[in-house]
Amino acid sequence: MTNHDSVPVVIKNITPEQVALISQGVVAGVDEVGRGPLVGDVVTAAVILDPNKPIAGLNDSKKLSEKRRNALYQDIMVNALSVSVGRASPTEIDELNILHATMLAMQRAVAGLSIQPQRVLVDGNRVPDFGIASHAVIKGDGLVAAISAASIIAKVTRDAEMDMLDQQYPQYGFAQHKGYPTKAHFEALALHGVLPQHRKSFKPVAECILLQNKS
């Protein structure tokens, strides 16, 4: 597997009929969480749902409460045919850039599935080369059940990792802002400096490193 983009079939304004059509067969939904944060891995998930065990309430993870997300996470882990998490580290993000690191993490998630999908459906407008027929679905995380499931798995996984990082470095407030560029995160960076887990190529982190080197 390479980390190059293929030319994707991008589906905009997908209809329920189109969702039903592209969801036939063994289909993996893929989504990512964590492109915007200044710290930690970008996390992706690939999910193949069992058509005989539908899961009620699937939606874009950002539109669900934490309690609902966690409950659906358990439902997906129990009822899906296959679930896989992929990731790219801060070092890989700095080396490749966030877009290509995300594509690599998506490839890793699909490669980790215990079942080979016939088709891969990715949220957004870009698809890496999976070596499998694939489509990019605009706003797919709220429209295609398998992508919704992937968004939930990725979100719950990454949030748990930020909670663990918060226990290690409580002064940064990771449990609250999950690594995103908030005022509290900027203040913690200025006060406590850059951690090994920070993404050095991201502008606020790079600027903090420059200031530290000058002092």
10 Å Cβ neighbour count for 82? 17
**pLDDT reported for residue 191:** 95
Token pair belonging to 103: 């594509």
- Pairing type for strands 82-88 and 42-48 reads antiparallel
- Count CA atoms within 13 Å of residue 65 on its CB side: 3
Rounded CA-CA distance 72/57 in Å is 8
pLDDT at res. 112: 98
pLDDT value of position 159: 97
Residue pair 88/114 in contact (Cβ under 8 Å)? The answer is: no
CB 29 within 8 A of CB 145: yes
pLDDT of residue 3: 43
Measured CA to CA, the distance from residue 202 to residue 182 in angstroms comes to 14
Counting as low any pLDDT under 50, the low residues of the chain are: 1-6
In this prediction, residue 5 carries a pLDDT of: 46
